[in-house]
A and B are shown apart, each in its own frame.
Chain A
């Protein structure tokens, strides 16, 4: 392994992670500076759901496609969401496996699984980009950051998929691109919409808490 690749796999990643952690901390501090509204109303609704249950239920919303009409009626879209986010987990995980647990990648099955998962995510990235460019509403609501973030992830998936076997015999360029992109990704994330997973716990916490107190969530369907 060249020094450059070693640097890209270790120091670069560590610096990027540290940077991301600092910016994230600042971001959370920024969010906490806004005062939280106080809830004085007595619980309403026909069921007694505690705030804790409501919050937990709201956080788990992501794994319950039946809970919302928007996901229940669009199974294909929900499947894309799952595939895309599994791809993110796999690609991030890969950036730790390669430098710290490379022996895992000696399993052809794992390599194949990771490649399928990340490849599928890459495909979903392309489908999403086509949708964003072709559906008028999506074009209307999209910002440069939306296009760039999606492109970045799709390209990153592509190189992650190629990087999975962790082979340097044919050259290191694929791995170098993958790790450089990962570092860039980590640095860029806090400034972009990709940081939504940082907000997810907040928004769903408050929505779950309020709506549980009011007996709205989890929804009763009929």
Chain B
């Protein structure tokens, strides 16, 4: 036992290290021969060739030194000889945090390229967990973890918002298919399929829920979605917090058991699939009694069983496929998506390298929630950008919501002009819908599609002129009357004088920040009920809103926001069908 003076947190980290390390990790920590073979497999290294601190072995050594110093006797006896070392101060913990959260996406590419079988990603996750256990983590990680612990999903989606969105999507489907029987069943017992989703679908991409519902409908599946425990994502995978991982997974498994569901189908999400299907049973120490399957496999099965028919010519686009790290390198799901694509598109262009050798989208490992590392992430994304560009495809398909965000961001950054989509969207679009005799139903939308925001007054508050102009023109083009404000005080004055139907509010603004403006709006008796949609590029700032003793906002969007997402959410908040 080393007895030097340590900060409280450093001492706790050292004490907990021994409990965290299992045999697999001990092997990985002891076995590295510093051969450097893994170096070129990491996208961070390829994008930063002059910075050796990005090398996987170097990053692993930041953790390995602690292991050697405290758990391995060579490091105890002659620490300097094997570069063993300890941590003493909170600054050193912060440095370690920078490495394990900011320089590695836990993509596991180096693992598969290490001749010794050293699993750096697992070791890195363990180190994240140690730091999280003493509260040392990027703020975004803290916020998202808190949401998942307390609200039950990692985007802080409230139950009523979730149910409302399912309702909304049901109505859209009924309208689209002119069939009142179509819908999203909730909490139905004894179903063949219980469908779980990523909260991102509720917030930014409800269309994918509707698309899945459409596919289940045409496959005549007996299915349901749970009213609670529906989030199949698991921030425990990213934060290294096995307790959170276990609690989240258990919540989902228990719900499926409550509903007596036969199979849990997990929507397209790499980390969600890995957490729920592969790691969850271990974290939760739960012997799952039902089957679990990715929706990719479900859709493929429907096609093969003839339960749905698809026509690839309906997707007249050139596509490539991006394998999510978690799907490919940790769950072995590489062939099913390709087979499914072969049914729903005609022009498929393979990306190289691919499958388990594919490069990370660079948004993995929770990187999208750690805005302090965004410049580093986008720099490392040059590797992915080159890969995408070389395919010559117009659309990149991926079976992961995290990758959708990561890819969208890098495509914008490197001006690749590509679209990102998921298999569920392509399958739904390729569905061959046979004429059915439907009972006519009259569904009266509140507002017609054209000029659907007509008559709505929206106050857009943002200090960035580009964003202000973008939001204002998108909303105005859709018929809304738009009022603009560039800072907090102006926003409050305009809100009071104009009484808008909705306020879109940027959080970080000079002077009075969005949090204060939000609270002022909520406390003003005339404006308390005015819907507010929070906009921010930094998810960790969410606490500026949610920690306030006033009712929560009506919507929440992470920048960058595209036109579709903006309209979708604005219409949802304003209940415009």
Chain A residues within 8 Å of B, Cβ to Cβ: 30-32, 34-42, 44-47, 58, 61-62, 68-71, 74, 77, 81, 135-146, 148, 191-193, 196, 199-200, 202-204, 206-208, 210-211, 214-217, 219-222
Contacts and interface: CB of A to CB of B under 8 A. Distances in A.
Given A44-B331, A44-B333, A215-B331, A36 B40 contact: no
Contact of A207 (B26, B117, B285, B354): B117
B147 to A, nearest CB: 26
Q: Which label, helix, strand, loop or mixed, suits the secondary structure of the A interface? A: helix
A137 B58 contact: yes
A141 B26 contact: no
B30 A222 contact: no
Contact of B30 (A31, A40, A61, A214): A31
A70 B329 contact: no
B40 A193 contact: no
Contact of B37 (A31, A40, A70): A70
Given A44-B331, A45-B331, A221-B355, 4 more contacts: A32-B23, A69-B353, A137-B57, A206-B23
Contacts of B113: 68-70
B27 A68 contact: no
Interface centre among B52, B83, B115, B357 (most CB of A within 10 A): B115
20 contacts: A31-B26, A34-B22, A36-B22, A41-B278, A46-B334, A68-B115, A69-B357, A136-B52, A137-B57, A141-B34, A142-B34, A199-B30, A203-B24, A203-B119, A214-B332, A215-B331, A216-B356, A219-B355, A219-B356, A220-B335
Contacts of B336: 46
B139 interface: no
Interface in B38-88: 38-41, 45, 50, 52-53, 55, 57-58, 61, 72-74, 80-83
B55 A137 contact: yes
A131 to B, nearest CB: 8
Given A137-B36, A143-B83, A196-B33, A203 B330 contact: no
A191 to B, nearest CB: 5
B356 A220 contact: yes
Interface in B302-345: 328-336, 338
Interface in B335-381: 335-336, 338, 350, 353-357
A78 to B, nearest CB: 9
A1 B72 CA distance: 42
A112 to B, nearest CB: 30
Interface centre among B34, B114, B353 (most CB of A within 10 A): B34
Nearest to B113: A70
Nearest to A214: B332
Nearest to B119: A207
Q: Which label, helix, strand, loop or mixed, suits the secondary structure of the B interface? A: helix
Contacts of B28: 203
Nearest to B336: A46
Contacts of A38: 282
Nearest to B294: A44
Given A31-B27, A37-B23, A203-B117, A145 B81 contact: yes
B291 to A, nearest CB: 8
Interface of B: 21-28, 30-34, 36-41, 45, 50, 52-53, 55, 57-58, 61, 72-74, 80-83, 111-119, 277-282, 285-288, 291-292, 328-336, 338, 350, 353-357
A137 B45 CA distance: 10
A16 B528 CA distance: 82
B374 to A, nearest CB: 25
Contacts of A203: 24, 27-28, 31, 116-119
B117 A141 contact: no
Interface centre among B22, B40, B113, B117 (most CB of A within 10 A): B117
B33 A216 contact: no
Contact of B34 (A35, A146, A204, A221): A146
A221 B112 CA distance: 13
Given A36-B24, A204-B117, A220-B335, A41 B282 contact: yes
Contacts of A215: 331-333
Contacts of B111: 207
Nearest to A143: B83
Nearest to B282: A40
B38 A45 contact: no
Contact of B115 (A71, A136, A145, A214): A71
Contacts of A140: 52-53, 55, 58
Contacts of A221: 355, 357
Contacts of B37: 70-71, 74, 77
A216 B332 contact: yes
A146 to B, nearest CB: 5
Contacts of B22: 34-37
A40 to B, nearest CB: 4
Contact of B23 (A34, A42, A207, A211): A34
A46 B333 contact: yes
A141 B335 contact: no
B38 A70 contact: yes
Given A40-B282, A40-B287, A46-B336, A202 B31 contact: yes
Nearest to A62: B115
Contact of B286 (A40, A81, A191): A40
B282 A37 contact: yes
Contacts of B73: 30
Contacts of B21: 34
A121 B325 CA distance: 37
Nearest to A194: B33
B34 A143 contact: yes
A151 B109 CA distance: 31
A214 B330 contact: yes
A216 B350 contact: no
B332 A44 contact: yes
A146 B278 CA distance: 37
B116 A200 contact: yes
B278 A44 contact: yes
Contacts of A139: 52
A42 B24 CA distance: 19
